[in-house]
Amino acid sequence: MEGSVNLAAEDTPLIVDVRTAEEFVMGAYPGAVNIPLDDLEFRIEELGDKDRDVTLYCASGARSSYGQRILESSGFRNITNGSGVRVFRCLFNIRRSAPRQTGFQINERVSLLNFL
């Protein structure tokens, strides 16, 4: 398939951007792979082992949540919904303005704050 990425041979954690290709080229988490949600069920074999750690993200968290359900129903066991870049932009703005006063903690595995 043209444009597909063969990641199946790897076993490192994977970050998958399930936004459209157009959204992906506008900016993405470094090292993320773009598999649009509409293509995900047809490209599952590219993700490799079903025990692999996979984090999905999108713009708002809705598509990544749906993608998580698709992968879990296909037998994947270590899927995380990394939420959306809009959420992280909001948190980044809060953190940037008052990092010590907010007191919130962010899971490093799914945090996009280093990117934004």
What is the layout of strands, in order, in the sheet containing 14-17? 33-34, 14-17, 54-58, 79-84
Query: How far apart, in whole angstroms, are the C-alpha atoms of residue 47 and residue 7?
Result: 6
60-88-49 Cα angle (round to 5) = 70
Query: How far apart, in whole angstroms, are the C-alpha atoms of residue 104 and residue 56?
Result: 22
Q: Which entry of 47, 58, 59, 91 is annotated as an active-site residue?
A: 58
Judge whether 58 counts as a catalytic residue. Answer: yes
Which residues form the catalytic set? 58
